[in-house]
Structure 1
Amino acid sequence: MVGVFDIIPDDTAFSLELDSEAASGDAEAWSAQLQRCVLDYEEDDVIRGPVVASASLYRVHFGSGDWYEDLDEESHTAEVVGAAFRKRHEFEDEDLVGLFSSALVVIDDIEVPEKWRGAKLSHGLIRAITSVFRSDHIGLLPSQMSEGPDGQFRLDLAKESALRRHWEGVGFRLIPGSSVMWLPFEGRAL
């Protein structure tokens, strides 16, 4: 079995926290972080540094009759991902393990500070999240918006395309007929 420390860089620490106050409905709200750290050999201590990647997640159980409505209450992104997973029987046939999954984790927002971009730390964060939620479906919606010089957000199809390629690099696939991506069980790189 692969542990979290086998899949993230040596100089980072992974933390995952359930925030029971953050969710509006019955969806579980989680926050995940990768943080730089240095081992102080003299003091036998870990010195934590800056957060290099973070994500907001929502988790719902398909057995709940209201799981889609629970996602709709949380955010637009969670609702869009949930809508795509309402039709999961149409794409899950190619991933037999997925037929037994009883929950969905929506990566609602993922952020890597500008200074840390380019090292694929977001891939490490996804692998760490996947190692915890290994029996759950995982979905995300690549951002389609960019902030312009005037501070207004605009549709940016080039950004969406670049993010789609980025997420394909960690194993995500586009759900047919949507902009949502999912991480098949058989393609998970642990």
Structure 2
Amino acid sequence: MSRLFPIIENIKVDLKSLISIKHTCDPEICSEKGSCCSEYEVCMEKREVDKIVTHIPEAAKFAPQLIANGTYRNIFEETDDNLVSIDTDEENQCLFAWRNGKGEALCSLHSHALKNNLSFYDTKPESCCLWPLAIYDGSPKILTVQDDAFNFDCNKRHKSEKARLDPEISSIINNVYGTKMLTGINHAISIM
């Protein structure tokens, strides 16, 4: 069992789950069905708020709902578990979400990053960067696939003759947790 759930960089990794998913972030898919921007409460550590706040002026160019009465809205709320969540609108959509002329659901922080040649890993909350993967509390924390990830058209079952990570999943892990974590996961997959 420990081969399927090795501890790498102090995180228990659900290898079977990680190799089961192929992910493609494509806003055109979101116009047909639900978007991750309207399905989850986005929670983050307090330390992440400062990073995001610096990008609100540029994000507001895409998502004008971030401004009220000529000033930037306070869209953050402290949760009972000492995290911070991002407010949602009446349709339960993250206030950073916006729809372009084609009706595609987009993240204004991600759009700002693309427009200004930044990495969205530097502009978005970690939980958003990690999606469709998820990190669950535990001792140690557990890295796996979000429970309902396959309800979204951007995620498919990864079918491969050899157990391996999808390139997009590899990119997510590398950008959120670093090369050492990705190398450790790939090694664990090779011997499972």
TM, length-normalised to structure 2 = 0.23
Of Structure 1 and Structure 2, the greater strand share is in 1
Larger RCO, structures 1/2 (Cα 8 Å, 6+ apart)? 2
